[in-house]
A and B are shown apart, each in its own frame.
Chain A
Amino acid sequence: MKDLSKNTLCRLISGIKKKDFSSEEITKSFINNSQKAKKLNTFITTNFDKALEDAKNFDKKKNFEGLLSGIPIAVKDLFCTKDVKTTAGSKMLSNFVPTYESTVTSNLWKEGAFLLGKLNCDEFAMGSSNETSFFGNVYNPYGDNLIPGGSSGGSASALAASLTPATIGTDTGGSIRQPASFTGTVGLKPTYGRCSRWGIVAFASSLDQAGPMTQNVEDCALLLEAMSGYDPKDSTSAKIKVDHYSKNLNEKIKGLKVGIPKEYRVDNMPDEIDALWKRGVEFLKDAGAIIKDITLPHTKYALPSYYIVAPAEASSNLARYDGVKYGHRSKGNNLIEMYENTRSEGFGDEVKRRILIGTYVLSSGYYDAYYIKAQKVRQLIKNDFDEAFKNVDAVLTPSTPSAAFKAGDKKDDPISMYLNDVFTVPVNLAGLPAISVPAGYDKNKLPLGLQLIGKAFDEQTILNLSLAIEKRAGFKKEINNWWKS
């Protein structure tokens, strides 16, 4: 059988249209790969039989109206999928089967794609290494015992290992961009409100945003276009027209101004990250962009603010998992005991840690000092970006302060784990779009990404800039298939 799994999303779409291969052949390729990649532990639930059926049905009718006609796609297990188990990586929802489909996945299916399976992630999307999932660690195809980043770690790993042609994740503080950077893939967090949050298991409502994770920038533009749009069921979704990102994608970025924020040069940042950043600057200059030094003075307060706002919202969002209506329920002699046992057993340590932090910062007597102050800082961070965007069209930074690390390395040190998100978190606080594009390797041959941050609802500009970097970086996937069985 011909292995079609190394093709990009766009190539697969045009190939089906040109009858180079069938949807069934594509689907089989990815299923075949997935079956040999159990060591990566990317899938929580596979939907292979149904996917094959969907592929065959597609091949019979060959309807090419959608942007993603005939394409199987595996998605992060945070998106509710009708009649397919949705766990959020938690014991709490380990047997939960929604009767409804999230808006974002519905959008994909409307464009002709179908579900290949549900991908592992950190429990309730809380984590930066995919070590908090009830279903076990996800591993990075770039190295044995290497983590893929998180929380969309299963998505990033599956994509890098060619187990799905593209995928979608969610990003609350970097959960798309950091794993994309760690796996040599492209990941974009859209502007807050660009994609509907309806039907996505909530972590922190004011920060959560779904986004595409793809092999290259062209695929990213297409998938973003397919999944975005206003949704009356989400009050925070934006009534702004979705651009034709893929049609408008070009690297004619001559004259665009790109800012380099000095505050992103953090302590103990490896030299190679700095070097990568400089290379990024050169690529953009080469493509005709104008580079400007800018300042985002409140950057250093972003991480502490994030770790107040996100847990605060999470502590409330996760209150619904109480054993009463659905999901895990433990026994207890009375209601309170049932709650305590259910939540003690149903949630893992990282989730409990954040619920405790969140409950604490919202408590009376602490609310003003923590939550209110964090909200003020959040506004200042947003103001920083507003100010910067008066002079530049986008901002270039590294995606992460390091490359992927070994499982267990930071698991018992939450602070150093949280530092992973230092470059990605400010973007979520400001509600802006940002993309991580692979731009090189570190000395251990691990991928590194560059982040481009755009103005609100200007995903097109960062896609175009990323395309310019992608063309010049010449990043090649170098995976030794250690996991294959």
Chain B
Amino acid sequence: MSEKKFDYFIQGEKNNWEVIIGLEVHAQISSQSKLFSSSSTKFGAEPNTQVSLVDSAFPGMLPVINQYCIEQSIKTGLGLKAKINHYSVFDRKNYFYADLPQGYQISQYKNPIVGEGEVFLDMPYGIKKIRIERLHLEQDAGKSIHDLDPDNTYVDLNRSGIALMEIVSKPDLRSPEEVSVYVKKLRSIMKYLGTCDGNMQEGSLRADVNVSVRKIGDKKFGTRCEIKNVNSIKFMQLAIQYEAKRQIEILEENKKIDQETRLYDTKKNETRSMRSKEDAHDYRYFPDPDLLPLNLNKDLIEKIRKDLPELPDQKKDRFIKDYSLSSYEANVLVSEKEISDYFEEVVKTSDKKLATNWIIGDLFASLNEKNIQISDSLVTAKKMAQLVNSITSGIISGRTAKEVFEIMKESGDDPNKIIESKGLQQQSNPKELEKIITKVIESNKDKVEQFKTGKDKLFGFFVGQTMKLSGGKANPQLVNDILKKKLK
């Protein structure tokens, strides 16, 4: 198979342009309580019901680090094949906003908990490595709600203080497609690790997208713009496409790009300037004197490393080896932990090749159609295995199985029950089939003559007639075998 070549370039009026993208992904750590307080992190609670005195920055309140969040970020760092820093520091990022109660965000600036790592993307043109620059811990801000009242802003502090991991990539991404695969891969790794639920609707995963363009062949990066807080992969892709074209138009007019922070308007599909470099906040970072530097014990890191689960890349290799899957099949099956678990459950008791086809084919189609996760499918792994087994054991044909699956996906019924109650079992009794075939031959003697004189194509006719007479239940393999014998 010849590999496709990378070909995402944007044609301008004068030149072909390459798009350079770096991502700062904000991933909410899966934890019961916030980064520096014991308030709950549960999504969807009534406004301001999960807010402690620390989260709302009352006088004299002090942050105390949530050890579990530290372990979660170490785990994520290891999942990104990154260096875990034994010494890291919490800094204050100072700015005023109504939903930032302290007047500063506790973050990590010069000394993050996780250093350089890497993520591998399976692209149609081969494996692409994306380098990770760092992962640091920080607290989320609250939420300002401007549209409840014409004169006032409402503030909900439920999110205030929730733990985030900011994962910063190097500017290694070159197309919206790579961005999509990258974000999905990060999400997949974190879900495997259980460190982030990856739920973009609930805001558990957002990204700031840095975009610049350069003429093909140029070595130097162009001036970049940062698009803040994009919360879906589709919007990231659209924003990048819009932003790249905007920059190209400016450059082709021989004008300069202003380094600035921009907002993506999802309704108008455009990016707008938020603030220029001159207006950029001076965050006045300095080490938070309320928190001691974080000194990580080597044993703790090693213990977490030892307990690390199998990650998508390793699982893919194993699937290829153990189940003789193609790289494509393995990739699809490991993309989400739930899918890989489902797959392994099914093939434990059924034919791996057939099961793979059924999962990637009909099951995925049904998930897409219903827009649901594999865990929500009524066709459980156990039932899927039963269905596959009923094919391999000759109880039903592949074609009938599709009929059974249609019922299963709507009702969640047991396949054997469906086959039983609808009488869909194949006729696999040779004696019974012989009777039917004898009837077919006797009532079509002219055709038999023609066949024997060389009209091979008529074989299909006899098969069809036999199937018809059996009410579609005849085992096609057996029908073939018997017909061949009888027509000799």
Residues of A that sit less than 8 Å from B by CB: 80, 86, 88, 93, 96, 98-100, 102, 197-202, 204-206, 232-236, 312-313, 315-316, 318-320, 322, 324-326, 335, 339, 359, 362-364, 367, 371
Take A80-B60, A236-B292 as given contacts and tell me if A100 and B103 are in contact as well, using a CB distance cutoff of 8 Å: no
Contact B284 A320 (CB under 8 A): no
Contact A235 B59 (CB under 8 A): no
Q: Is B460 an interface residue (CB 8 A)?
A: no
Contact B291 A235 (CB under 8 A): yes
Contact B98 A320 (CB under 8 A): no
- 8 Å CB interface, B11-67 against A: 53, 56-65
The minimal Cβ–Cβ distance linking A322 to chain B, given in whole angstroms, is 6
Name 26 A/B residue pairs within 8 A (Cβ), A-sorted: A80-B59, A96-B59, A98-B59, A100-B53, A198-B62, A199-B60, A200-B60, A201-B59, A202-B60, A204-B289, A235-B62, A235-B64, A235-B291, A235-B292, A236-B291, A236-B292, A316-B103, A319-B94, A319-B96, A320-B59, A322-B103, A324-B98, A362-B94, A362-B284, A362-B285, A367-B285
A88, A313, A318, A339: the one contacting B289 at CB < 8 Å is A313
B277-317 interface code vs A (CB 8 A; 1 in, 0 out): 00000101110011110000000000000000000000000
Contact B101 A320 (CB under 8 A): yes
Residues of chain A contacted by B284 (CB below 8 angstroms): 315-316, 359, 362-364, 367
The count of residues in chain B whose C-beta lies closer than 8 Å to any C-beta of chain A is 30
A199, A312, A339: the one contacting B286 at CB < 8 Å is A312
A80, A201, A319, A367: the one contacting B104 at CB < 8 Å is A319
The minimal Cβ–Cβ distance linking A448 to chain B, given in whole angstroms, is 33
The minimal Cβ–Cβ distance linking A198 to chain B, given in whole angstroms, is 5
Q: Is B238 an interface residue (CB 8 A)?
A: no
A322 CA to B97 CA, complexed, in Å: 9
A198, A204, A324: the one contacting B101 at CB < 8 Å is A324
Q: Please count the residue pairs between chain A and chain B whose beta carbons lie under 8 angstroms apart in the complex.
A: 95
A204 CA to B289 CA, complexed, in Å: 8
A10 CA to B394 CA, complexed, in Å: 96
Q: Who on chain B is nearest to A232 by CB?
A: B64
Residues of chain B contacted by A335 (CB below 8 angstroms): 97-98, 153
B57, B96, B291: the one contacting A325 at CB < 8 Å is B57
Q: Is B397 an interface residue (CB 8 A)?
A: no
Residues of B that sit less than 8 Å from A by CB: 53, 56-65, 92, 94, 96-98, 101-104, 153, 155, 282, 284-286, 289-292
The minimal Cβ–Cβ distance linking B363 to chain A, given in whole angstroms, is 50
Contact B62 A320 (CB under 8 A): no
Contact B289 A206 (CB under 8 A): yes
Contact A235 B92 (CB under 8 A): no
Residues of chain B contacted by A326 (CB below 8 angstroms): 58
Contact B155 A324 (CB under 8 A): yes
Take A236-B290, A319-B94, A359-B284 as given contacts and tell me if A197 and B62 are in contact as well, using a CB distance cutoff of 8 Å: yes
B65, B104, B282: the one contacting A235 at CB < 8 Å is B65
Contact A319 B98 (CB under 8 A): no
Residues of chain B contacted by A362 (CB below 8 angstroms): 94, 284-286
Q: A86-B59, A324-B101 are in contact. List 18 more A-B contacts (CB 8 A).
A: A88-B59, A96-B59, A100-B53, A102-B60, A199-B61, A204-B289, A205-B289, A235-B290, A316-B92, A319-B103, A319-B104, A320-B101, A322-B98, A324-B98, A325-B56, A364-B284, A367-B286, A371-B286
A150 CA to B57 CA, complexed, in Å: 26
The minimal Cβ–Cβ distance linking A334 to chain B, given in whole angstroms, is 10
Q: Who on chain A is nearest to B144 by CB?
A: A335
Contact A100 B290 (CB under 8 A): no
The minimal Cβ–Cβ distance linking A226 to chain B, given in whole angstroms, is 19
Residues of chain B contacted by A80 (CB below 8 angstroms): 59-60
A234 CA to B292 CA, complexed, in Å: 10
Contact B58 A100 (CB under 8 A): yes
